[in-house]
Homo-oligomer: A and B are copies of this chain.
Amino acid sequence: MTQAPFLKDVAALVKFLQFRAASFDRVLQKLNVISLGNGKCSVEMKVDDDHVDQTGKLHIGLSSTLVDCISGFALMSQLPNMHVTTDISLRNFNGPKTGNEIVIDGHVNKVVDNLAFLEVKIKDKATGELLLQGTHTKYVLVN
């Protein structure tokens, strides 16, 4: 019951995402998974019309979803346990616009007892500029 899908590589994550297309994870269907393993996950995405807000910039709701999921995938490549979010936060330095290509890098900062501390950086693919930064704390179920 507390076993999460263990994601060992890019193929496993792609399969997981296809399976989840009926849930809210459908908003991630345009992700291009670059690498996954050992507590790290890197994906790329082209910002599309259905990703943006009224100003034409990446929607904060989707940005938060990227922070949530990409760091979650990173954790799922390190730990087989189920986990639930306790605290998640996002800082928006400069949101990308429709047509921009972005890189989303998530990694596990540390796992201490039942807690996993995760972090995500969203950068412009072309320039490497840091656009958004997220932190994410998850509670890991152990039994």
Contacts and interface: CB of A to CB of B under 8 A. Distances in A.
Given A61-B61, A93-B109, 13 more contacts: A24-B53, A64-B65, A84-B92, A86-B91, A86-B92, A87-B90, A87-B92, A87-B137, A88-B89, A93-B110, A93-B117, A94-B112, A109-B130
B52 A61 contact: no
Query: How many copies of this protein are present in the complex?
Result: 4
Interface residues on A, range: 35 or more
A115 interface: yes
A25 to B, nearest CB: 7
Interface of A: 4-5, 20, 22-27, 49-55, 57, 59-62, 64-66, 68-69, 82, 84-95, 109-110, 112-115, 117, 119, 130, 133, 135, 137, 139
